[in-house]
Structure 1
Amino acid sequence: MPTPTEIRLKRAERVLEVAFDDGSRFALPAEYLRVESPSAEVQGHGPGQKVILAGRREVGILRAEPVGHYAIRIVFDDLHDSGIYSWTYLHALGREQAERWAEYERALAAKGLSRDPPKRKG
C-alpha cells in the first residue's frame, strides 16, 4: 500500500498535492476530489448507484483532517465532509485521474448537466 510522504493543500489553487513513498506525485483538483468522493452520498450503497454531481467547478477545500494513519477526511466549502480518502484511494485517484475525469465529463454530457454552478437569480 503506498503511503503519502507529503500532503499539501493549496486553497487558492483549489488543489491537494500528494506525494507517495513509491515516488508518485499527484495534483488533485478539489472538483475532482469532490465528484469522486468515497462517501455513500456520491458512490451509493452498491454497484451502479454512483451519483453524477454537477455544478462543482468552483468547489474548494476548507481543510483535510487525518483519520488514523490510513486516510484523510476532506471538508469542502459546499460543506460535504463525509468522505474518508484512504491512502490507497488517493493513490488510485491520482493514477486514474485522466480516465476518471473523461468518464465524469461523458456522464455529465449524457445527462445534459454542467460543471458550472447554477446561475443565481437576482
Structure 2
Amino acid sequence: MNAPTELRVSKDRRLLTVTFAGRDPIALDAEYLRVTSPSAEVQGHSPEQRVTVPGKRDVTILKMEPVGNYAVRITFDDRHDTGIFTWSYLRQLGDERETRWGAYLDELATKGLSRDR
C-alpha cells in the first residue's frame, strides 16, 4: 500500500487525519488509535490475549515517528509507544471505525470498564 499523502495531528493533539491519494481524509481520534493499537501489549499474541484498554478518553498524541516507508510509530501521552501503525492498518481503522468502536464500547460495558480514568 502506498504511503499517505498527509498525516496531520490537530492542535489539541486529539485527532489524526490521514489522507491517501484518491480518497477522502480519514479522521482517527487519539482514543480510538490508543485502544486499537497494534502493539502486543494491546493485541496480545493471539485473539484470546487481546486486552480491552479502559480509561483513555482524554489521551493525546505526543509524537509520531516514521518507521521505514510503511508505517508510523505513535507515542501517546500515557507513554504507550509500542504500536507500529502500518498504512494499511490506518486505512482499515478508518474503513472499520463504526464496527470496531461499537465492539470496543460493548466490551467496556460487558467488563464493567469505563472510557474515563
User: Aligned pairs, how many?
Assistant: 117
AA aligned opposite 2:46: G
Q: Give TM-score scaled by structure 2 length.
A: 0.96
Contact 2:3 2:69 in 1 (8 A): no
For 1:36, the equivalent position in structure 2 comes to 36
Q: Give TM-score scaled by structure 1 length.
A: 0.92
- Residue 45 in 1 paired to residue 45 in 2? yes
For 2:80, the equivalent position in structure 1 comes to 80
Task: Report the more deviating stretch, 92-101 or 44-53.
Answer: 44-53
CA RMSD of aligned residues (A): 1.1
Gapped regions of structure 2 (runs ≥ 5): none
User: Bigger radius of gyration, 1 or 2?
Assistant: 1
Distance in 1, Cα, partners of 2:22 & 2:37: 23
For 1:91, the equivalent position in structure 2 comes to 91
Cα gap change, 1:22 to 1:3, in 2 (>3 Å) = farther
Runs (4+) of structure 1 moved beyond 3 Å?
none
For 1:55, the equivalent position in structure 2 comes to 55
Q: Percent identity?
A: 56
Q: Note the alpha carbon deviations across 1:72-99, whole angstroms, 9 max, x for none.
A: 0000000000000000000000100010
Distance in 1, Cα, partners of 2:22 & 2:100: 22
For 2:6, the equivalent position in structure 1 comes to 6
Distance in 1, Cα, partners of 2:32 & 2:106: 14
Deviation at 1:49, TM superposition (A): 1.5
Gapped regions of structure 1 (runs ≥ 5): 118-122
For 1:120, the equivalent position in structure 2 comes to none
